[in-house]
Amino acid sequence: MSPVVLSAAGAALVLDASGPGLPRVRHFGAGLGSAAGPDLVPALGSPAAAPPLLPAQGDAWYGRPGLSGGRTGEHWPVRWTLDRLDVTATPGAGGTVTVAASDDMAGLELVTELAMDAGGLVTMRHTVRNTAASPYRVEGLTCALPLPARAGELLDFTGRWALEKVPQRRAFGQGVWSRENRRGRTGHDGTGLLVAGTEGFGFRSGEVWAVHAGWSGDHVHYAERLAEGPGLLAAGELLEPGEIVLAQGETYATPRVYFTWSGGGLDDAGARLHDHLRAAGPLPVRPVTLNNWEATYFDHGLDRLLELADRAAAAGIERFVLDDGWFLHRRHDRAGLGDWYVDESVWPGGLHPLAGRVRKLGMQFGLWFEPEMVNPDSDLAREHPDWILGRAARTPPPQRNQQVLDLARPEAYAYLLERLDALVSEYALDYIKWDHNRDIAEPVHDGVPGVHAQTLATYRLLDELRRRHPGLEIESCSSGGARIDFGVLARTDRVWTSDTNDALDRQAIQRWTGLLVPPERLGCHVGAPRDHVTGRSLPLAFRAATALFGHMGVEWDLTSASEAEREELATWIALHKRLRPVLHAGRVVRADRPDPSALLHGVVLPEQAVFGFAQLTSRVTVEAEPLRLPGLDPAALYEVRVAGPVPDGAALPGWAAAPVRVPGSVLGELGLPAPKLKPASVLLIEVTNLSL
């Protein structure tokens, strides 16, 4: 049988279905061109070195099995028989593969779905069905693709509240490197991507493979290599014992797992992920957003909020979001969650006076919710203590004065849907900031572990709300960046990248989160002059230039800002709007620079590009390395100019005094002389392609 080849954008996936058993993955990596013919499989060597789509010991795989589970009193190791193989593929444009298999002795059926999109990104999902009379416990079911021996390094990410996506690298030898998350949400320390690559890979160099589990509950990412040679990159849902028990005829489907390959470093791997999200359909223009949280916190005096709205509109802000504190009993964070009714003691006219002023000023209006949570001190918890996710006889430990509502309970789900639907309708909300501010501890639903059911119920709630209100935009926030994954991004329009607005920390947080998420979906705000989380004071130009490269917003009490500060902010917002068509549609690029004191990154379209050179700290060397601008066409002629305000105290080289024309080959290979900037400074560079 000829091999099955999916190919697109320079990547290829090769399946050998010659048997016995499930197809084996003979190759995932660089495109093979015209070599993908009948003689390809023999050229790839021994099938024993290629794991099947769901590795097991019967396939001579002695690492982690792709499927683990069992029945009480009997154990049948699974050996799959291939029943059906359906392929739809166009060379160079990707395609789909559906594999159906069964094991009559084990009493199981399997369907595996594989797809490669036009950008070369591979999506995989398994569905297992119990065909026997006795129940089958699914303890693990993961999606995996092979890694070659030359993938000798691993990169993953950790973090904490207000400092997400901290990279860590290590050698990849034999054994398992596993990142497991049991927080009930993606987690501040969730890796997001697990990357394997050739030694020394960077943003612009090296061969890399990466995996992402598109799931907002408990999950696992791992890489494994055995002494026999083959390696695997895998991910899936992390299941608790007894969480998934299949009766006869019932099925369990994994979340979708995403695999990306690149022959040119992390930037290209990330671009494939960005392209996949963007292919779902274009987002509306991303309005510059003001969120009042760090401006007023729980102080919801109408006069103060109206003044804030006036100042926001004058600065060019396009959306006003009222954060926590508007609903019953919510004068602090210890009460009221779950009581989703406007507090008439604070808002005697409802939210209409504020919403009306906001819209009269030409801005959209949005509102904050935390639907999945409840305060014990709330009318909802007092009336329905049985709606709390956990055992009634032993309440789970509280965090942030909160418990979790059991959304898989129909009555709790119906209540939330009615309240959210009613408020979106009454105030014609343009936008919801959907928060989730604690890890889920000891979740129990109907006597079994509850994270799986809770996650699916949350997805259903988001989907139904969007169905009823097609124009509604939703932001996923989870005490900052603790729920950022393709599962929630399939249902929301942006993520809140971090609860810190400290621009110095944000430079790194946005840089690494941006491997998975494109700029137009990354919430990036201009915070107060003295950051509320770190206490660090930073100049407005640095704060604004950092926020400019995402979905820009403001989280600063503009009623306390000086007239000069408001004018400067308006200048930056106007610049963001002018550059927004590039920033929110182009390819993200990052330069590999040996000096960690500075970053060079940009967003590139064929006709235009925007770069930011950020001096984070004092540099060690007297002269900085030239600015080699990545991602440009070496055959094109470009006009280069400084965009936006020049940082205070900057010593600029000659090219920055007036627009200059430079070939792309020179900009990419030799670069431009670097400016001398003070720490916490950003110089913006705008590049226009004159050859088009």
The catalytic residue positions are 435, 499
The residues, any chain, with a CB within 8 Å of residue 120's CB and separated by 6 or more, are 7, 8, 9, 10, 11, 94, 260, 261, 272
Neighbours of 166 (CB within 10 A): 15
* Alpha carbons 603 and 525: distance in angstroms, whole number: 18
* Alpha carbons 573 and 556: distance in angstroms, whole number: 14
| 14 three-state secondary structure | strand
Bond from prior residue into 353 cis (ω within 30 degrees of 0): no
* Alpha carbons 109 and 132: distance in angstroms, whole number: 10
* Alpha carbons 135 and 202: distance in angstroms, whole number: 48
Q: Tell me 148's DSSP state.
A: -
Tokens of 557: 């009490």
- Residue in 95, 100, 116, 104 with CA at minimum distance from that of residue 28: 116
Specify whether the CB–CB gap between 412 and 371 falls below 8 A.
no
* Alpha carbons 172 and 151: distance in angstroms, whole number: 7
Specify whether the CB–CB gap between 427 and 367 falls below 8 A.
yes
* Alpha carbons 25 and 149: distance in angstroms, whole number: 15
| CA-CA-CA-CA torsion sign (483, 488, 492, 493) | positive
Specify whether the CB–CB gap between 50 and 230 falls below 8 A.
yes
* Alpha carbons 444 and 389: distance in angstroms, whole number: 6
Strand 473-476 to 448-449 pairing: unpaired
* Alpha carbons 503 and 674: distance in angstroms, whole number: 22
CA distances from 191 to 208, 211, 296 (A): 16, 10, 33
CA distances from 596 to 213, 508, 593, 611, 623 (A): 30, 11, 7, 17, 14
CA distances from 648 to 367, 679, 680 (A): 37, 11, 10
Rg (the chain; Cα; Å): 26
* Alpha carbons 234 and 244: distance in angstroms, whole number: 20
Tokens of 652: 């600029």
Specify whether the CB–CB gap between 653 and 674 falls below 8 A.
yes
DSSP string, 197-216: ESTT--SSSS-EEEEEE--S
Tokens of 446: 């109907």
